[in-house]
Structure 1
Amino acid sequence: MNMTAIKEERNIANALISGLANTPDTPTREQVEEKAKQIAAIFGYTGDLRNIVTEAMESVVTRMGAGISLVDVNANHDDQWVHKREDIDWVYTRSYEEFLRNEGWPPQMVQSLSDVTTRILGHLQDPLSEGTSWNRRGLVIGHVQSGKTANYTGLITRAADAGYKFIIVIAGIHNNLRKQTQQRIDEAFIGRSSDPEDRSNIGVGLAPGYPHPATLTNINEDFNKNTAAKSGWKINDFSKPIILIIKKNVSTLTALHKWLKVMNAEGGDRISDVPMLLIDDEADNASINTNKEELDPTRTNAMIRRILGLFAKSCYVGYTATPFANIFINPDVYCDDVQEELFPRDFIYCLDAPTTYFGAEKVFLNEKTSESIVRAIDDCEDFIPYSHKRDDPVYELPPSLYRALDQFIVARAIRNLRGQAGKHCSMMVNVSRFVPVQKAVRDFLSLREKKIREAVLANYAMPEEVSSRNTYMQGLKQAFDAEHADAGFTWAEVKAALISVFKNLHLYVINSKSDEALDYTRYEKEGIGLTAVAVGGLSLSRGLTIEGLTVSYMYRNTKMYDTLMQMGRWFGYRLGFEDLCRVHLSHDSINWYSHIAEASEELVQQVKRMRRDRLSPSEFGFYVRSHPDRLLITAANKMRSGQKETVEQSFSGRLRESYIVSTARDVNAKNFALIADHWRNGFGGRPEESTRKGIIFRDVPVTVIDDFLTRFECHPSFTEQKSDVLSYLERIAMKRPLADVLLISPSDGPGGENSFTLKNQIRVVGKDQPSGTSWRLNKDRVASRGDEKLGLSDAQHHEAMALAHGQDGSGAISDTHYRMVRNKPLLMIHSLEPKSETVTGPIAAFGISFPYGDYLTTINVVVNKVWLQQMVGYADDPAEEEDQHE
């Protein structure tokens, strides 16, 4: 497809989307197809309309909520200043929004982005406000790959329109990420290519008379002493805003600080007349454990503080996708004055993800969609073990990786059949942080790809009885049958289309040393959809956008929260191929991602609740510091085995479950007798009520629950956690003396024939269970998603729906929303039947869900390395995890 055809397709799609934007009801596919034909006829377009129709359908249902902000309630700040200033000509903002619409953004999304960035700008200072000096500090929490860059670019355009003169974007720690950010901002704000070889107008700059901002960085060069010296410029030499896109490293920040001080700070040490905005993208990069002084987070953060300190009027806005941003919890990388300077004391803004976002909710939390997307890797350890070293030889790749390659080739063929040949399609392979191992993996995959290519060339047009004799064709057919038989095409159609896959298929090794650039734009210019297999490590997993990511294969063992979430490159938008996406991870990683996704969701709910209770970001900071997972974040490797540390913990809005259970028969017999005894007595004489999946006792005195949990026998490795739950229950008992008790007993479950016995819930037993009497449940979860909805009134259910869906009907409902409306503790009691030859049931388990609103209530927990290992089976060392050799 040539560029003219792509442009024509884009124009028709935009016309169709605009035409549908105001329809009151969601149109059917047939109606959209009909309208598309009419518009195509006007344009004289005779090409394939399928993609255009898919995009238009998606745009009609794409919505994004306004998000929620938590502000310092005591600050003297008027966030309505944006609306009161009538002198602002939104020239940069209008150009940017027009650019997004031309890029195919649905009008509703452009509008909601406009609303959200206006609100965030309101949290900043009016750059024309009186006063010789001011500063504002905030944090925006987004989702991995969900358009954070688009959001802060929108904020930059608004800030520039309002009068911010000097804007710095700190974009990650790797060159490729800085370059990618520079390219985006060139298109969306500067309006001119910063490629020294080609200074042509692009993106927003194609409009006549566009007021191009100045930039002191380009796609090849970060800010350094030479750029600054060469320019000899001062900030005030420009009537237009200046923007710099820089890496977060010591020498870049030092060079910038020096230039600002020497060239621009007149008379005193402060730049008094230039309002500045600093955007810190991936503000949680501070967690990187590294020996490189260049990236030392303590030093980089201190330099950021010094740069801010040069300006009398400054705003700092951190952007992160991991709500556990280190600024709240990690004293090791933020000394006191830096903590004070960068802490988001003025506002925290949680962005909503759009309804069509393919994120943690779909991949890990929603049981139905998760089942179709996630695949467990259980054969990699024999080939490339977790703990391999830089020089370990790779003799062969795990069969599961070859299967994933087969899936990818079949998925690309299906995408081509759907008319998506002009779109990019990628596979990501991340099994090692070491460059030599990455190269070895690429070489094996190259060899395999060559053999598949030859097999396809010889067999794609052959009858099935001939082609099915070929081993590689068998692999592709198996991938089709297992994964994509219901994707809308027969095997015969897919087989015939396989030949189209190899036309633009390339394999890359991506790391900070590699000279292979995953350059999608080069292919775009030629109207080609690149088919890429990218093998890499840290730089592949942090920040870099991988276009059209369809299959991911990751076998890495970090348990560092933010590193893990950043590795979630598979999140994003998957227009027209979401059903083909697959994510291959180890059992451990699947459990961990699920846990983190839950914890992140809880934190966002916490922000909503704190806003309702008129609390400030400082209270949120306290809550995060006392979050049970804090220790898993602040580098558990720093705790020596003998060391004990007392930490404060809050369980507000948390679900605590006995996910490590005892399989000993006598223990379970005692626990089931205890359940029957309390059940018979109505948990302190309360009436029994039926629910869809068992029974509920409402308003049980907390003293009864205390008695039940005290006598419930846990596996020794869970005893301390049970004792923490009891302590917390006692701490909140004055405020919340009553709780609900849910006996979960699904009507179609086996067992439960005798009175006062529960029907069982069948659970799969994961691999690698320790020998002995403990069983660690899959995803560290006992309850099924949605169990907390049981026993809620219709009114409460509607309230939870409203909380989840926001003002605009977007957002998925989950247990965190049910927890918010119940407003009292909920004890859930389960009888589990393991699906296993080695573990026999039934097995008793419990979970207690704590309401929101007690975030400032904490208990003291004494922890050491042993406690941590029981909590998370901590086997790896995060300091080891970061790639020293990339």
Structure 2
Amino acid sequence: MTDHLFNLHGDVLAAMRRGPKPFAKLAFVLSEAAEPADIDLGHFRERIIAAGPGDELIALWHRTLTAWDLAEQSDWSDAPPRTDARRTDTYDRLGFGADLRKALDEAVPVFKEPGATVISKEFTSWYSRDTAAARAFYWNSYEQTLRRKGWSDAAVSSLDEASHAVVERLSDPTRAEAYGARGLVVGYVQSGKTANFTGVTAKAIDAGYRLVIILGGTLNLLRSQTQRRLDMELIGRENILRGADPADTDALVGVDYQDDEDWPAKFVSHGGRPSTLGAFDIERLTTRDDDYKSLLNGIRTLEFEKQARTQPLYDPANLHHAAARVMVVKKNADVLEKLLRDLKKIGPILSEIPALIIDDESDQASVNTTDPKKWENGKVARKAINGQITQLLSLLPRAQYVGYTATPFANVFVDPGDEEDIFPRDFLISLPRPAGYMGVQDFHDLEGEGAAEETHVRGIYDDTGDRLQEAMDAFVLTGALKLYRAARGVPEEPFRHHTMLVHESVQQREHASLALRINSMWHRSAYTGQEGHARLATLLTTDFQCFVDDGLPTPTSYDDLKPYVSRARQLINSGGEPVIIVNGATERDYEQAELDFDRTPHVWKILVGGTKLSRGFTIEGLTVTYYRRTTQQADTLMQMGRWFGFRPGYRDLVRLYIGREVPMGKKKTVDLYEAFEAICRDEETFRSQLTRYAALVDGKPQVTPAQIPPLVSQHLSWLKPAARNKMFNAELVEIRSPGQWVEPTAYPTSAADLRHNTEVWRPVLEGLAPSPVTLRCRAHGRDDSYQAVLGTLDHSALVGLLRDLRWSTPTQFSPHLESLVHAGSSIDEWLVIVPQQTSKRSIEASILASRPLTLAGRTRRRGDFFGAISEPKHRGVALRVAGALQDSQDPLVESLARPRRGVLVLYPLVEEEPRLSSDGAVDPGKVVMAFSLVAPTSPDGERRSLVRFRAIDSSRSNFAVIDREEDSA
């Protein structure tokens, strides 16, 4: 039966490519073959209200409204994307009335999740929405593929916007003057960065890029994963077969996916060879199994046919008829050398080829890490891979470089003064946390709620034993729970693979020993006997049944699960042993069939390994992680977070067994869970800063990529941003943070400096109220209360006090102090809050004859820097008093809130339990007078830039990096 209403609305919306227009007028023009009722908007509203699941008309409007909600680049609306105002503007332009708006809002709620954050130089716009829509063969195909995979409209539209933001900042491929943009895209560990760069590739080749080189990891395993993903979702069957008849078995000999169970059904089909459909073909220069070896047909492989022979390839008359070439290349010196050697043979045509280089895991191997001290005659010496990438860029003057990583700091601190290197001089884009992603917030209670750690984290302490048997029991039990759910209608695809990761060391001999131990433990675990079933039954009751996702079936008793335990044990033990060791010195060591998640129907195994499992490689079905390896490298530690990712149908089953007391050095232990949290806080701070400073002021960026390093260095001072004899010419002078929590951590270590700082705070201590009060704030789902001692201080007195403090790294706080110095016209006074601990273990002492105050205990995380100092429960009151929250629902706190009042939260803290004098006083040289502050919100806050930089050498203000004298290093 023909759905006339759906057909009409499809035609009308298709005519609105540039944005919403009066619906009724267009419907009237396009309604010649439609029923009169189809034009009636009242009939449309009735259809919305009565629609059931799967209604195509509602799905059409869901896609369209969501795309309009999210559109960042829209010349039809001044309303910001992802807001009610944008949706209202949409309805106004469509001419919809209140009743229809209400019905549509209920069917398609406004999508308000944050989008990508873009830090960019000013650029010339060439890639408009019209330009993108005019040539979108491969993007449209990729978009349809994502929808078939079950991607939501919001997810597809978000990817569309984020990938568009990348491509529009590349150089116009038809531009006469060659220019190579450099950019960086920052995602989350295991968060789907491949989907983004596949979208970028689709849009870029549609726009005219004709050579795409994807640097896909350092192992064949990783490279082939990326190749298969591109072939399956973008390049498609027809390009893989190169015109061969899929029914001709002889023609299929040698096709690289003949043994792949997903071929050809799950590989995208374009409905014919693209070149016969008015588009252009993609020629693969690498295959799933073969990395780049040499141009198989000699240099002719990169000879492009020109329709206008007298014009260069980048001329539109030639470009849009030429086939694209795509290769996925391992970051290996030998492989890249072959590629460079072949490119050098090709000659002048290279200068005409619009090329795109995508560097996956761009902070691995790509960054130059040579010691500047060893450079000769001032000439940059490069590591092999970095040198080869820079050669690629020089051979291809029209090449655009886009790095992808989840740990961006190595890329951010590349010397931007090195014109040949990969510093993201043109743009840095931070991708949003995707829906359904399990990340740091799911394993670390950054805001103090406690639910994440309780649900997913199982600490390994000295007094708990190593808990390895429990972790293995959890692996068997969760496998059984997946089978139980699959039998009750939960889609089986997420349960195809079921894995456990055990990571204790990078030493191969230790991997072998650990694997032997796990195998022995497995055979002693009695999973077919009473003892094993009793352990699993107890674990189900005491752990997994306590944290069930209400939307997923879970057995009420172990007896219901017992048959599935047997099947899970069989799957894990297939092949005779449950363990796969993943390590090796050569590529051949990784060529294990059981590690190929694409070609192996079911991988239900315990993976034991080290570094090779820590980056890029996706461990499908990972449910239980056992992690006890230490490292002092922040990005290395972060990349080992393989437990981050998507867990559809089993996120409540995910467990992380992690060392809380791991030996490291002489008589020193490390809490790996806290170490991860510290790094995750740095990552989140970096992203939140990018978001704050991304907003344009008077149409210009507040921060450019070249200004990010000095900004980030305030938080990661242990990273050296440039060569020993160079410095960033952009100095961060001021950070305005009205209504934002500011928490310096760079306090001095010497007793003399600590005593000096304590003396500076004497007037504040003397002015504190004699009795504590109870402060409470109910906001954003939290209900926090605590006792505190209060005081007040006028603004000029606080500024004078802060100017007199000593710091281990003064530049950490100086930009905030500069802001306070110039804020006298908007701040009158400060409320001082000194939180008081009420636990039995709290230490109470007098400081410089003050009333007794409790001392907080904190430790320095790295060098002179503390980790987090404040407690999340203290923040709500401060934010409310400073005007950043609307209501605390507490009369006392409301009485303290007033315009032009800021809040300073003072934390007298000690690093070890102090000895008190007989009268209960503490040595002021043992106390760190730490603090946090929130400046009052300001009416003009949105009209001024939040950051201010100055050029250290004003005569070279256009240079991001300048040389400095050796004696000033």
What is the TM-score with the length of structure 1 in the denominator?
0.69
Tell me, what secondary structure is at the counterpart of 1:575? Answer: coil
Write out per-residue CA displacement over residues 363-383 of structure 1, whole angstroms, 9 at most, x where no aligned residue.
222432134323333349x9x
Other structure's SS at 1:115 match: helix
2:904 matched to which residue of 1?
827
1:224 equivalent to 2:293? Answer yes
Q: Which residue of 2 aligns with 1:85?
A: 131
Whole-angstrom distance in 2 between the partners of 1:702 and 1:412: 63
Residue 154 of structure 1 deviates from its aligned partner by 0.6
Match of 1:304? 389
Q: Would the aligned equivalents of 2:745 and 2:865 in 1 still touch at CA under 8 Å?
A: no
Provide the rounded CA distance (Å) in 2 between the counterparts of 1:151 and 1:346. 18
Give 1:414 deviation, angstroms: 2.0
Deviations 1:505-540 (A, max 9, x none): 1421122546455768977778x5432211111120
Structure 2 CA distance for aligned equivalents of residues 173 and 853 of structure 1:
40
- CA deviation map 1:601-647 (0-9, x unaligned): 22222222322242343443343463341424779xx99xxxxx999
Match among 322, 333, 338 for residue 420 of structure 2: 338
Matched letter for residue 357 of structure 2? L
Give 2:120's aligned amino acid.
V
Does 2:344 correspond to 1:261? yes
Indicate conservation of the 8 Å contact 1:661/1:845, yes or no.
no
Q: Which residue of 2 aligns with 1:104?
A: 150
Alignment match of 2:580 (pick from 508, 526, 532): 508
Q: Residues of 1 paired with 2:875 and 2:853: CA distance?
A: 18
In 2, distance between residues paired with 1:555 and 1:845? 35
Change (3 A) 1:86 1:290: closer
Match of 1:424 among 494, 497, 511: 497
Report how far residue 596 of structure 1 moved: 1.8
Match for 2:821 among 714, 718, 734?
734
For residues 482 and 235 of structure 1, the distance between their equivalents in structure 2, rounded to whole angstroms, comes to 66
User: Counterparts of 2:626 and 2:497 in 1: how far apart (Å)?
Assistant: 18
For residue 483 of structure 1, report the CA deviation from its aligned partner.
2.5
1:822-861 correspondence to structure 2 within 5 Å: 827-830=904-907, 846-849=930-933, 853-854=946-947, 856=949
Confirm or deny: 8 A CA contact 2:686 2:712 kept in the other structure. Answer: no
* CA distance in structure 1 between the partners assigned to 2:900 and 2:132 by the alignment: 44
Matches within 5 A, 1:379-458: 379=462, 399-419=466-486, 422-452=495-525, 455-457=526-528
Structure 1 pair 724–109 and aligned structure 2 pair: CA distance change class (3 A): closer
Q: 2:626 matched to 1:550? A: no
Q: Of 116, 124, 128, which aligns to 1:67? A: 116
Question: Which of 113, 121, 142 is matched with 2:167 structurally?
Answer: 121
Query: How far apart in 1 are the matches of 2:459 and 2:153?
Result: 39
Matched with 1:498 is: 565
Q: Match of 1:206?
A: 269
Q: CA deviation at 1:157?
A: 0.6
C-alpha deviation, 1:779, in angstroms: 9.2
Q: Choose which of 667, 679, 684 in structure 1 pairs with 2:768.
A: 679
Aligned to 2:798: 704
Q: Is the 8 A contact 1:375 1:583 kept in 2?
A: yes
Normalising by structure 2, what TM-score?
0.64
**Larger RCO of the pair (alpha carbons < 8 Å, separation 6+):** 1
Q: Residues 541 and 757 from structure 1, CA distance in 2 versus in 1: closer, same or farther, beyond 3 angstroms? A: farther
Name the residue aligned to 2:743: 655
TM-superposed deviation, 1:214: 0.9
Instruction: Tell me what 1:274 maps to.
Output: 353
- In structure 2, the CA distance between the partners of 1:288 and 1:279, relative to structure 1 (3 Å rule), is closer
Structure with bigger helix share is 1
Q: 1:272 to 1:297 in 2, by over 3 A?
A: closer
Distance in structure 1 (CA, Å) of the matches to 2:910 and 2:717: 33
- 1: distance between equivalents of 2:53 and 2:342? 48
1:741, distance to aligned residue in structure 2 (A): 4.6
When residues 426 and 433 of structure 1 are mapped into structure 2, their CA distance, relative to the original with a 3 A threshold, is same
Letter in 2 for 1:354: P
Superposition map of 1:241-252 within 5 A? 241-252=324-335
Query: Are the structure 2 counterparts of residues 661 and 359 from structure 1 closer, same or farther at C-alpha, using a change threshold of 3 Å?
Result: farther
Residue 759 of structure 1 and its aligned partner are, at CA, apart by 8.6
Query: 1:417–1:497: 8 Å Cα contact kept in structure 2?
Result: yes
* CA spacing shift, 1:132–1:249, aligned 2, 3 Å: same
| Aligned mates of 1:235, 1:86 — CA distance in 2 | 26
Partner of 1:370: 453
CA RMSD in angstroms comes to 5.1
* Secondary structure class of the residue paired with 1:856: strand
Question: Is contact 2:461–2:659 with CA below 8 Å preserved after alignment?
Answer: yes
Partners in 2 of 1:624 and 1:285 — Cα distance? Answer: 23
SS at match of 1:236: coil
Asked if the contact 1:743–1:758 (Cα under 8 Å) also holds between the matched residues in 2, the reply is no
For 1:357, which of 437, 443, 451 is the aligned residue?
A: 437
| 1:49-74, Cα deviation, whole Å (9 max, x unpaired) | xxxxxxxxxx999985321212213x
Q: Find the structure with the greater CA-based Rg.
A: 2
Gaps (5+ residues) in structure 1?
1-13, 25-58, 383-397, 460-466, 640-644, 712-718, 801-821, 860-886
Shift of 1:761: 9.6
- Alpha-carbon separation, structure 1, partners of 2:770 and 2:731: 36
Aligned CA distance change for structure 1 residues 740 and 544 (closer, same or farther; 3 Å): farther
CA contact (8 A) 2:731 2:949 kept: no
The residue that corresponds to 1:818 in the other structure is none
- The change in CA–CA distance for 1:631 and 1:746 in structure 2 (over 3 A counts) is closer
Query: Is the CA contact (8 Å cut-off) linking 2:227 and 2:287 kept in structure 1?
Result: yes
Map of 1:452-467 to 2, 5 A cutoff?
452=525, 455-457=526-528, 459=529, 467=530
Deviations 1:295-321 (A, max 9, x none): x96332222122122224221111111
- C-alpha distance 775-174 of structure 1, shift in aligned 2 (>3 A): closer
Residue 301 of structure 2 corresponds to: 233
Q: Secondary structure at the match of 1:846?
A: strand
Structure 1 position 260, deviation (Å):
1.5
User: 2:775–2:877: 8 Å Cα contact kept in structure 1?
Assistant: no
Deviation at 1:566, TM superposition (A): 1.4
Paired amino acid for 2:406: A
- Give ranges in structure 2 of 5+ residues lacking alignment: 1-51, 63-107, 242-253, 275-280, 306-320, 371-380, 549-553, 573-577, 661-670, 778-784, 888-898, 936-944, 953-969
Q: Matched residues in 2 for 1:833 and 1:477: separation? A: 46
Alignment correspondent of 1:602: 685
1:109 shift after superposition? 1.0
Shift of 1:207: 3.9
Q: 1:575 maps to which residue?
A: 648
Question: Could you say what secondary structure the match of 1:375 adopts?
Answer: strand
Q: After the TM superposition, which residues 463-542 of structure 1 pair with which residues of structure 2 at under 5 Å, given as runs?
A: 467=530, 470=531, 472-486=532-546, 487=548, 488=554, 489-505=556-572, 506-512=578-584, 513=586, 515=589, 528-542=601-615
Match of 2:874 in 1: 787
How many residues get paired? 720
Structure 1 246/758 Cα, relative in aligned 2: closer, same or farther at 3 Å? farther
**577-586 vs 622-631, greater mean Cα deviation:** 622-631
CA shift, 1:792, in A, is 2.9
Cα separation, 2, equivalents of 1:841 and 1:835: 15
CA contact (8 A) 1:426 1:549 kept: yes
